[in-house]
Amino acid sequence: MAGYRKLSRTSSQRKALIRNQVTALLYNGKITTTEAKAKEIRRVAEHLITLAVKEKDNFEEVTVKAKVARKDKDGKRIKEVVDGKKVTVFDEVDKKIKKDAPSRLHARREMLKVFYPVKKVPEKAAGRKRNTEDVDMVAHMFDNVAPKYVNRNGGYTRIVKIGQRKGDGAMEVLIELV
């Protein structure tokens, strides 16, 4: 007996489907799908949330020196002429960064295996490509999702049956984060 549901798809299609739905679930908080898909999604999503909860505070803050381009009042880079060439002027700044511990780095890379890129679209300029922002799903997991579940031992998702789908009669469910 197989350890997973095949969902009537080839392995590459099945992996893509699960990755897509897990990304949507963890970004939006809930999705509607069929019962069989929801049970497969639950396995992957709960594993990722567990990783995020375990490694949430496993980093150290480090101060590093960074070169930042000097800018004028309009936000454009200031350039100087050196040896007949225009060169951007840089300033050194102290910057605080989070340095991941090895286990947190591994958890981050395991999550990146699953997540697809997510674009955040603002409501007022929907449909405009230039106003979209890339969402860092791993940071979203560590900063927003993991703190909600620190005191919980598993069971991060809930499956609620909605009813049968009109077209083919498949049982539709709502899978959501608890």
Residue 6 lies in a domain: no
118 in the same domain as 52: yes
How far does Cα 64 stand from its chain's mean position? Answer: 26
154 in the same domain as 96: no
Question: Domain ends where: 46, 71, 100?
Answer: 100
47 in the same domain as 26: yes
Q: Give the CATH number of the domain where residue 134 resides.
A: 3.90.1030.10
pTM of the model: 0.84
- Please give the residue that has the higher pLDDT: either 1 or 50: 50
68 in the same domain as 44: no
26 touches 53 (CB < 8 A):
no
How far does Cα 9 stand from its chain's mean position? Answer: 25
Q: pLDDT tens for residues 69-78?
A: 999 988 899 9
**Tell me, what's the pLDDT at 121?**
84
138 in the same domain as 111: yes
Q: How many domains does the chain have?
A: 2
Residue 78 lies in a domain: yes
Q: pLDDT tens for residues 20-68?
A: 999 999 999 999 999 999 999 999 999 999 999 999 999 999 999 999 9
Q: pLDDT tens for residues 108-139?
A: 999 999 999 999 888 877 667 777 889 999 99
Residue 3 lies in a domain: no
> Would you call 41 helix, strand, or coil by DSSP?
helix
Residue 37 lies in a domain: yes
Which residue segment(s) compose the domain that 88 sits in? Answer: 59-100
Residue 156 — very low, low, confident or very high, per pLDDT cuts 50/70/90?
very high
Residue 80 CB-density burial (10 A; 0-12 exposed, 13-18 middle, 19+ buried): exposed
Query: From CA 176, how far away is CA 28, in angstroms rounded?
Result: 9
pLDDT, mean of residues 80-85: 89
15 in the same domain as 88: no
Residue 2 lies in a domain: no
Residue 1 lies in a domain: no
Question: Domain ends where: 71, 100, 129?
Answer: 100
pLDDT, mean of residues 104-111: 97
37 in the same domain as 18: yes
82 in the same domain as 19: no
Residue 112 lies in a domain: yes
Question: Domain ends where: 76, 100, 124?
Answer: 100
